[in-house]
Amino acid sequence: MAAVWTFSLLLSPCLLWPSCLALTPPAELPQPHNLPPLLGINSSDGSLSVDLPRALRVFSMDYHHVQAPFEIVLWIMLASLAKLGFHWSGRVPAVVPESCLLIMVGLLVGGVIYGVRHSAPPTLSADAFFLFLLPPIVLDAGYFLPGRLFFENLGTILWYAVLGTLWNVLGIGLSLYGVCLLAQSSLGDVSLLHCLLFGSLIAAVDPVAVLSVFQEMHVNEQLHILVFGESLLNDAVTVVLYKLFESFLRLPSVSGLDVLLGGCRVVVVGLGGLFVGLFFGLVAALTSRFTSRAQVIAPLFVFLYSYLSYLTSEMLHLSGIMAIVTCAVTMKQYVEANVSERSNTSIQYFLKMWSSVSETLIFIFLGVSTIQDVHMWSWPFVCSTLLLCLIWRATGVLLLTAVVNKLRRNAVTFRDQFIIAYGGLRGAICFSLVFLIDDFPKKRLFITTTIVVILFTVFVQGMTIKPLVELLDVKRKKRALPTVSEEIHSRLIDHLLAGIEDVVGYWGQHYWKDKFEQFNRKYLRRFLIREDHQARSSILRVYQELERREQGGDVEAPQPLVDPRSHSRPLLPEEMDSIRRILSRNLQNFNNKQTPAYSRHTLHQDATMDRTRKPLHRHHSLGERYTYNTITHWPQGEAGEFNGSRRVRAGLSRSHIGKVMDNSRHRNIQETPIRQKMDVSLRFQLQT
């Protein structure tokens, strides 16, 4: 590990040579040469060369020629090496979130550059951030979004994202204006609109920072999707409000009509982004239908279309984030059906890779950009901003949750609320937005304050959230905890109600979901998915169906390994603890699928993909005994909980299936060889 760090430090002197001031796109032209190029041999100022007779130069170096790409590669290399070093460093990730470490590396590098060059190190230009660094992260988030969970909780997510952000923005903006009025002497020239503008950019909860902290915490699916969804959607709201206030600042005066138009603009921007994303998503799905003859470039279309949707909506001043997320969500199911296995894997790996690199670069640049000449400090402003951010977020979450819990069956508990409120970390979006403000006397103050807030939230909140949550869990245990029976029965009732709602069908969201599924099946799938793949997907569904029945019908458990009577002793506290942990982690997983929480760093094999592939292998060997290879079936994270007993238990044989079918009294299918069963299932599956 030490080697990695020293290597990273060795890289930084490499950055001394260039005199670049900002991270620019590779299209930058190299510096003009002062000497006319010699015939066929490149030469320019600053080239080292061995002093040989003029005819031939054996060794020469021409840095300016490769300057721009070289520097970009060095930065990316630094970021990746830092990431590697982080993961190799053992105990540190448990205590310090990765984002903190990366910022510290950035601070170090920035300090070194400043120390050597005595001028500000390169900063993150807003254009580079918005055009190059942010899209991969958002695309990755959108592509791996757990669709069903997201749409089930969409109401709550929108509630938090839109209303919560509005509450925060107005609250912080107005309170800051109050503070500025109080401190007339030093802050007198900050107007109300400036405060509102600042409020809009500082209220933005950053998905990048939040997710990187959540990796280490145990959050159940529901909480994860709430925070994740909220951070995605509130980006759109924040950017819109920011641009709105900025345009207000440019107007000579703001009338009521302008405010009304601003409100309309918010709606237009959000919906516009949505439609742009939908359009590009459908076109991408259609294109992927025809890629069977050129499978190698199929992944490219996914990236091109997504990026195009982002750029198009940025061009039209619509919400790029909404566009790219919608595009990814729309095209995912069709692309996955159309494109080969390897291309699917390539798409997923590239997405993970790019978003990982992007995120690392962002944090490092946050660190580097902190070292600057431009700081302006003001105690009242900075401290009050910090306090107000915390207060307004906490009150917002409390109020909103109180209302939304009346409408949800699964209440958002106090622990969840604490995590949502305290986990509202700010990140690079605020940072870039503050640089984009038109210049005015107090701009430097805003920049400094933003940096302080980001560093505070990432470091202090990021590092303390896990211990605080554990403390909260401990405190909760002192009061009356729900008993194990209560938890189990409550969960059963939840599943029961979900099932009854499905049966009844017209309750709220199920109505629209059913309608959409019908529309999808009748028109979209026929149009957008390749002919032969349509049939394959329905046969795969049948295999899945049979698979599920086998699993679900495994009612005849083998004899319990230990006589149950011998267990009738009071359980030790640590056994109770482990039981509770198992229950809380697993009972909240709605789908009962082994889909782990969304992870930036690893590509968990999607359980459904495994489920489709496995039956194809298994059912080839009719009449033979086969064993369930459970170890490869489920992702590595849970592998520790499996042991030999699972494999023994799950080893199904052909004869067992016949017995299993008998047990389920609700099925009129008699014990038949598997082909006949398949026919019956096929028939009623394809009928629906």
Partner 1 sequence: MGSNSSNMNHIPDGQQLLQDTGFSAAQIIRLYERFEFLDKDNTGHLRPEDLETVPDLDMNPIGARIIGAFFPPGKETLDFGSFVRILAHFLPADSNRTRAGAQQEPANSTTGKLRFAFQLYDQDRDGKISRDELLQVLRSMLGLQVTEEQLQCIAERAIQEADADKDDAISFDEFRKSLEKVDIDHKMSIRFLR
| Residue numbers 499-538 binding partner 1 by CB under 8 A | 499-508, 513-514, 517
CB of 546 to partner 1, least distance (A): 12
Cβ at position 407, least distance to partner 1 in Å: 9
Looking at residues 434 to 463 of the shown chain, list those that interact with partner 1 (rule: CB under 8 A). Answer: none
DSSP assignment of 42-55: ---TT-EE----TT
Binding flag, residue 572, partner 1 (CB under 8 A): no
**Between 218 and 257, how does the x/- string for binding to partner 1 read (CB under 8 A)?**
----------------------------------------
402 binds partner 1 (CB under 8 A): no
- The nearer residue to partner 1, 118 or 666, going by C-beta atoms, is 666
* Nearest residue (CB) to partner 1, 28 versus 577: 577
189, 341, 470, 486: which one binds partner 1 (CB under 8 A) = 486
**Of the listed pieces 130-138, 387-395, 427-435, 644-652, which binds partner 1 according to CB under 8 A?**
644-652
Integer Cα distance of 341 and 527 in angstroms: 21
679 binds partner 1 (CB under 8 A): no
* Nearest to 377, CA basis, from 448, 453, 451: 448
Determine, following the binding rule CB under 8 A, whether residue 575 of this chain makes contact with partner 1.
yes
Helix axes 428-435, 443-455, angle to 10 degrees: 170
Of 5-13, 263-271, 585-593, 618-626: span binding partner 1 (CB under 8 A): 585-593
**Choice between 340 and 578, CB closer to partner 1:** 578
Q: Which helix (H) or strand (E) holds 501?
A: helix 484-504
Instruction: Note whether 491 binds partner 1 by CB under 8 A.
Output: yes
According to the binding rule CB under 8 A, does residue 560 interact with partner 1?
Answer: yes
Residue 469 CA: distances (Å) to CA of 118, 157, 465: 43, 22, 6
Gap between the Cα atoms of 323 and 555, Å rounded: 47
Shortest distance in whole angstroms from residue 469 CB to partner 1: 22
Nearer to partner 1, 315 or 669 (CB): 669
391 touches partner 1 (CB under 8 A): no
From the list 27, 483, 573, 623, which residue makes contact with partner 1 (rule: CB under 8 A)?
483
CB atoms within 10 A of CB 50: 9
Separation between Cα atoms, residue 661 and residue 553, nearest integer Å? 7
Per-residue buried b or exposed e for 566-587, using 16+ beta carbons within 10 Å of the residue's own CB: eeeeeeeeeeeeeebeeeeeeb
Q: How far is CA 573 from the centre of its chain?
A: 37
Q: How is residue 337 written in tokens? A: 């059906």
Q: Which residues pair with 61 in a beta bridge?
A: 48
Site string for partner 1, 188-217 (x = CB under 8 A): ------------------------------
Q: Tell me how far, at minimum, the Cβ of 674 lies from partner 1, in Å.
A: 19
Of 13, 147, 188, 552, the one binding partner 1 by CB under 8 A: 552
- Binding residues among 406-425 for partner 1 as defined by CB under 8 A: 409
Nearer to partner 1, 142 or 553 (CB): 553
Q: Please state the closest distance from residue 555 (CB atom) to partner 1, in A.
A: 6
Q: What is the nearest approach in angstroms of partner 1 to the Cβ of residue 504? A: 6
CA contacts within 13 A on the Cβ side of 256: 0
> Within 13 Å, how many C-alpha atoms sit on residue 309's CB side?
34
Closest approach, Cβ 472 to partner 1, in A, equals 20
Site for partner 1, residues 597 to 636, rule: CB under 8 A:
634
Q: Which amino acid is at 390?
A: L
- Site of tokens 């106090």: 414
Q: With respect to partner 1, which residue has the nearer C-beta, 87 or 477? A: 477
Task: Rule CB under 8 A: choose which of 311, 498, 524, 539 binds partner 1.
Answer: 498
By CB under 8 A, name the one of 247, 589, 599, 612 that touches partner 1. 589
Residue 341 makes contact with partner 1 by CB under 8 A:
no
342, HSE (Cβ side, Cα atoms, 13 Å): 5
Residue 409, CA atoms < 13 Å, CB-side half-sphere: 12
Least distance to partner 1 from the beta carbon of 575, Å?
A: 7
d(CA 199, CA 196): 5
Least distance (Å) between residue 409 CB and partner 1: 7
Task: Decide: is 470 part of the binding site for partner 1 (CB under 8 A).
Answer: no
Cα 601 from Cα 599, distance rounded (Å):
6
Please identify, among the stretches 126-134, 300-308, 363-371, 664-672, the one whose residues bind partner 1 according to the rule CB under 8 A. 664-672
Which lies closer to partner 1 via its Cβ, residue 462 or residue 596? Answer: 596
CA distances from 92 to 3, 88, 448, 457, 482 (A): 16, 9, 29, 19, 34
Is residue 661 within 8 A of residue 671, CB to CB? The reply is yes
# binding residues, partner 1 (CB under 8 A): 74
Grouping H, G, I as helix, E, B as strand and the rest as coil, residue 17 is coil
Which range in 133-141, 352-360, 362-370, 487-495 contacts partner 1 by CB under 8 A?
Answer: 487-495
- The answer to whether 642 contacts partner 1 (rule: CB under 8 A) is yes
By the rule CB under 8 A, 649 interacts with partner 1: yes
- Dmax (CA) for the chain in angstroms is 97
- Cβ distance to partner 1 smaller for residue 293 or 565: 565
262: closest CA among 277, 243, 284? 243
Q: Do 176 and 199 form a contact (C-beta atoms < 8 A)?
A: yes
- Using the 8-state DSSP alphabet, how is residue 556 labeled? S
Find the shortest distance in angstroms from Cβ 246 to partner 1.
43
Buried b vs exposed e over 521-542: b needs ≥16 C-beta within 10 Å? eeebbeebbbeebeeeeeebeb
Q: How far apart are CA 33 and CA 110, in angstroms?
A: 30
Shortest approach of partner 1 to residue 441 CB, angstroms? 56
Per the CB < 8 A criterion, the answer to whether 346 and 299 are in contact is yes
Q: Binding residue for partner 1 (CB under 8 A) from 166, 193, 386, 576?
A: 576
Q: Where does 251-378 have alpha helices with state H?
A: 256-289, 298-315, 320-338, 341-370
Does position 477 bind partner 1 by CB under 8 A? no
The nearer residue to partner 1, 64 or 611, going by C-beta atoms, is 611
The stretch among 185-193, 208-216, 328-336, 545-553 that binds partner 1 (CB under 8 A) is: 545-553
Q: How far is the CB of 642 from partner 1 (least distance, A)?
A: 7
With residue 60 as reference, give the H or E element that holds it. Answer: strand 60-61
Q: Side chain identity at 176, as an amino acid letter?
A: L
CB of 538 to partner 1, least distance (A): 14
Task: Check: CB of residue 364 under 8 Å from CB of residue 79.
Answer: yes
> Least distance in Å: CB of 634 to partner 1?
8
Q: Least separation, in Å, of the C-beta of 344 and partner 1?
A: 22
Cα–Cα distance, 22 to 368 (Å, whole number): 12
